[in-house]
């Protein structure tokens, strides 16, 4: 069982460079799904949703895009920039919600236009992460921690502002 537990885990910390590469791949795939929708093809929505499910359940372990990002591309971008894992996993969960909703809208409800709108929103969020390093899912995670929906124990590094912002530490009297 320890091996299975390793597969079904999410890294903490996460290399932000790899996360941004994954987001760039999501942008490309999502744009492809929007283009294919113009030709009444929705199959790429399923591929995108399965990729998000793989990443939220196993991190990069079972995700081809995650493997490419962590093993091939990110190491060529220099030293890793480590960030807490729980907000990134939450962001992948939001990707699951959006991509699965788009696939269900397309195949289950026949609402192709709505599926394209959902994918456009997902594309926008992935673009912000990939290009600017602005993770909407991470911001929502932080907000939910601030209002006590997500307990501090879920991400102690997130809850401890002084770990990320040393200027907030109280000076020690000598």
3-state class of 118 per DSSP?
A: helix
Q: Find out whether 126 and 27 touch, Cβ atoms under 8 Å.
A: yes
What are the tens digits of pLDDT across the range 110-141?
Answer: 999 999 999 999 999 999 999 999 999 999 99
What are the tens digits of pLDDT across the range 147-163?
Answer: 999 999 999 888 775 55
The pLDDT assigned to 2 comes to: 61
Q: What is the average per-residue pLDDT within 159-169? A: 59
* Percentage of the chain modeled with pLDDT above 90: 84
pLDDT band at 29 (very low <50, low <70, confident <90, very high): very high
Element (H, E) at 8: none
Q: How many CB atoms lie within 10 A of CB 16?
A: 19
Cis peptide before 13 (omega within 30 of 0): yes
List, in sequence order, the alpha helices (H) in 38-84. 43-58, 64-67
pTM equals 0.89
Which residue has better confidence, 128 or 1?
128
Q: Cα dist. 108→139, 145, 156, 166 in Å?
A: 31, 34, 40, 50
Q: What is the average per-residue pLDDT within 14-25? A: 98
The pLDDT assigned to 161 comes to: 58
The pLDDT assigned to 42 comes to: 98
Share the mean pLDDT of the chain: 92
Which residue has better confidence, 37 or 7?
37
What are the tens digits of pLDDT across the range 5-15?
Answer: 777 889 999 99
Q: How many CB atoms lie within 10 A of CB 77?
A: 14
pLDDT band at 167 (very low <50, low <70, confident <90, very high): low
The pLDDT assigned to 169 comes to: 54
């Amino acid at each position: 069982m320890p091996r299975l537990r390793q597969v079904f885990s999410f890294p903490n910390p996460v290399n932000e460079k790899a996360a941004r590469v994954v987001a760039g791949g999501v942008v490309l795939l999502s744009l492809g799904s929007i283009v294919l929708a113009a030709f009444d093809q929705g199959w790429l929505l399923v591929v995108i949703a399965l990729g998000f499910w793989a990443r939220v359940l196993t991190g990069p372990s079972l995700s081809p895009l995650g493997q490419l990002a962590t093993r091939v591309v990110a190491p060529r971008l220099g030293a890793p920039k480590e960030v807490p894992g729980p907000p990134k996993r939450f962001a992948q969960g939001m990707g699951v919600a959006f991509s699965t909703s788009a696939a269900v809208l397309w195949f289950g409800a026949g609402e192709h236009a709505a599926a394209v709108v959902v994918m456009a929103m997902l594309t926008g969020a992935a673009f912000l992460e990939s290009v600017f390093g602005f993770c909407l899912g991470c911001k929502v995670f932080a907000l939910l921690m601030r209002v006590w929906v997500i307990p501090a124990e879920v991400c102690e590094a997130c809850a401890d502002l002084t770990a990320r912002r040393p200027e907030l530490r109280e000076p020690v009297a000598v």
